[in-house]
Amino acid sequence: MPVAVLSGLTQNHLTPAPNALHLLILNLMPNRAVTERQFTRLFEAIGRPVALTFCLPATHRLRHDAAALLAAYRTFAQVRAQHFDGLIITGAPLDRMPFDAVDFWPELRELMTWRRTHVTGSVFICWGADAAGALEGTFTGERLTTKINGVYTTDGLTMPQSRYFRIPPAAVRRGRILASGPGLGVTALADDATHSLYLAGHLEYLTGTLRAEFYRDLTRDAQTRPPAHYLDTDLQPHNHWAQDAVRVYTTWLNSLTEALS
């Protein structure tokens, strides 16, 4: 089933189905076109009609292709009058920075307040989860000096991880811990009070995404270790999380439908 993308760099602009769920994706990943493809393919695999609107913080200083991005994407200011069925805030390569050093932090704080009255449910991913947890007071993440990098299974949930933070179970102030593991911390948390799902990893990743990140990191540090539980002896990646990605996001979409009925 085609996914209607209402704004974005690489996708066709389609007319959404009458019963489509309208999702706003705040895309903070460095390669935004890749992230668009990841979510488009994920929702195509689920087979539910959705309309995706990709968004950027207006206060973020864009280093590359700023004019093209601003032409293709919405900003928060441009969508704040709208209501959405769901909100997704992606990860970002910011987890070694203090929150108040992030240029769009005040705008993100405003968006998190706005979503309480304009969005039915939210998914926060990787740094987006860490940031949302701090802003909402749901938990306090722990900074790490060594990257958690690989594909890990915790409490039956398999998910790629690529992060410099951890959510200690003892640091969770509210919500239900859905999955956690030694050394990894909480990998999935649901807060029913705010209709929020926090994912420490990246279920949306395509098969080769972690490998591409590994080769990128190798150019910066020759001692970079390969992602755990992911590459075979020929350095070929294996996708063990696709079914869980469909399962988790299907459950989330169903929860939006139930909340709206």
Query: What distance lies between CA 127 and its chain's CA centroid?
Result: 8
Quick check: is 55 catalytic? no
Quick check: is 126 catalytic? yes
Set 36, 60, 195, 204: catalytic member: 204
Side-chain-facing half-sphere of 143: CA atoms under 13 Å: 7
Set 22, 55, 126, 136: catalytic member: 126
Which pair of structure tokens corresponds to residue 179? 């999955």
63 burial type by CB count under 10 A (0-12 exposed, 13-18 middle, 19+ buried): exposed
| Sign of the four-CA dihedral 108, 110, 113, 114 | negative
Euclidean distance between CA atoms 4 and 27, whole angstroms = 16
Which pair of structure tokens corresponds to residue 28? 């903070």
Quick check: is 202 catalytic? yes
Active site residues per annotation: 126, 202, 204
